[in-house]
Amino acid sequence: MKETIRIAIDGPSGAGKSTIARAVAEKLGYDYIDTGAMYRAVGYKMNQQGVSIEEEEKLKAMLEETEIDYRSGVIYLDGADVSSKIRTPEVSMAASACAASPAVRTKLVEEQRAIGHKTNVVMDGRDIGTNVFTDAQYKFFLTATAEERAHRRCRELQEKGQEVNFSDTLKDIEQRDYNDSHRALNPLCKAEDAIEVDSTHLTINETINKIYEYITN
């Protein structure tokens, strides 16, 4: 059986991982999997049903009745397209919280590994290179300053017609950075063999090309 190629792109919230990973996958002709969207979908459902990570039995029961699929850039939760509903600050915080749940991570990591071993993928998230695919052939850690990431998130939400406050958005990102890097289970960190790419002063195309060149040269 031919070995599949796995490309891991990790980094903090708002670093542009999804945009960059999707474009790199397209240039390579690989499948793109947005793992952050998978966690956001679970966080969204938890908010909708009023389930917290402290309620382990309720959470496990909810997960047993949860179906998450990612196809052609669209995230489906129980058969419904929730792509436009999972990019709010509230869902971001819920995603960060549920990512600390062993039950949630076990379910989603199993699905992610299964995908990555049957097709060539570019996968982005918080712990792809350090946990999901420690054997990934290529690993990148994409980052940018918190202020730059807050500006990007504000622009993204404004383009969708949502009212945003920069100060609140920055606080949300800083809080999520802390949560992601301090959780006990698979915290956000750069893999020892990952290439760090700081996109603070790079355009989207410059960042895409930089990663693409590392892979193809």
Judge residue 217's burial from the number of C-beta atoms within 10 Å of its C-beta, 0-12 exposed, 13-18 middle, 19 or more buried.
exposed
Q: What is the CATH number of domain 6-216?
A: 3.40.50.300
Domain ranges of the chain: 6-216
pLDDT in single tens digits along all 217 residues of the chain: 578 999 999 999 889 998 999 999 999 999 998 888 899 999 999 999 999 989 999 999 999 999 888 777 788 999 999 999 998 889 988 998 888 899 999 999 988 898 888 889 999 988 999 999 999 999 999 999 999 999 999 998 899 898 899 999 999 999 999 998 998 888 899 999 999 999 999 999 999 999 999 999 8
Q: Alpha helices, DSSP H only, in the chain?
A: 17-28, 35-49, 56-64, 89-98, 102-116, 146-159, 166-182, 204-216
What's the pLDDT score for residue 1? 55
| 68: DSSP letter | E
What is the pLDDT at residue 152? 93
Known binding-site residue numbers for ATP: 11-19
Mapping DSSP to helix (H, G, I), strand (E, B) and coil, where does residue 8 land? Answer: strand
- Binding positions are 11-19
- In this structure, the dihedral spanned by the alpha carbons of residues 120, 101, 14 and 169, taken in order and rounded to 10 degrees, is 160
What local confidence, expressed as pLDDT, does residue 184 receive?
83
Q: Mutual orientation of helices 102-116 and 35-49 as an angle, nearest 10°?
A: 150
Tally Cβ neighbours within 10 Å of residue 29: 7
Q: In the prediction, which pLDDT does 89 show? A: 85
Average pLDDT, the chain: 92
pLDDT tens by residue, 185-211: 888 999 999 999 999 999 999 999 999
